[in-house]
Amino acid sequence: MKKLFFALNATDPLATSFIPTYKKLRINADKKDITIKWVPADNYHITVTFLGNRPPEQLSTLEECLSEVCASHSPFDLKIEDIGAFASEHDARVLWLGVQNKKILNTLKNDLEEKLEQRDLLHLQSDEKDFVPHLTIARLKNPKSVKDMISPFKRKSFGKIHVDEVILYESKMQGLFPVYIPLIRCKLTAPVQEEL
């Protein structure tokens, strides 16, 4: 079985625009003696749909679904701004950067999930939480308050990322933390529409 998810790559130019803040966050974390595992910049991504454990023989059908959806969507930009934490700033296990929740991103997600559902590859729960696009930058070994650590960077802008493909990743544990291996890449190939 492979642990799979569809995501947008967010390594470039974020790896560069976020570096000064990243260094300051690391210093703040060290001062407060918070044990954090920082996500390497080449692993930055925005999860669109989590699939969970799947048999390898489903890969070709997943690729078909992805190709069909990507052919009807055009590239777009997303603003990256703000720093936050799950479950909360007072009880943090994950640090994230905020991702603009654009209609075009939600349409892409919904179209992909509808296509997967048609092929019996996804069973959507009607009570699923609202989609909160985010980019994980760190994980904490033990839940801690990070309010003081991240408050200087609230609402800070880290520029934009250009989205021109969707990737099917496999998540594999290496030690305590996952690494993400791109299995299938698919370009968004529809002509760009002027945004209203």
Q: What is the pLDDT of residues 143-167, one digit of tens each?
A: 999 999 999 998 899 999 999 999 9
**pLDDT averaged over every residue in the chain:** 90
pTM surpassing 0.95?
no
Domain-embedded: residue 36: yes
What is the number of domains present in the chain? 1
Q: Within a domain: residue 192?
A: no
- Domain of 49 in residue numbering reads as 2-187
Q: What is the pLDDT of residue 189?
A: 93
Residue 163 domain-assigned? yes
Rounded mean pLDDT of 107-124? 92
Instruction: Check pLDDT > 70 for residue 141.
Output: yes
SS3 42: helix
Whether residue 126 is predicted with pLDDT greater than 60 in this model: the reply is no
Name the pLDDT band for 103 (thresholds 50, 70, 90). very high
Q: What is the CATH number of the domain that holds 30?
A: 3.90.1140.10
Q: What percent of the chain has pLDDT over 70?
A: 94
64: nearest Cα among 168, 180, 162: 168
* 69 domain-assigned: yes
Query: What is the predicted pLDDT for the residue at 173?
Result: 85
Lowest mean pLDDT among 5-9, 33-37, 73-77, 173-177: 173-177
Is 91 part of a structural domain of the chain?
yes
Task: Indicate whether 121 belongs to any domain.
Answer: yes
Residues 6+ apart with CB under 8 A from 189: 70, 71, 74
Q: Provide mean pLDDT across the span 41-51.
A: 91
Judge whether 169 lies within some domain. yes
Helices marked H in the chain: 14-17, 19-31, 59-70, 103-118, 147-150
- Which candidate, 171, 170, 169, 165, places its Cα nearest to that of 187? 165
State residue 125's pLDDT score.
Answer: 63
Q: Is residue 193 part of a domain?
A: no
pLDDT for residue 196: 46
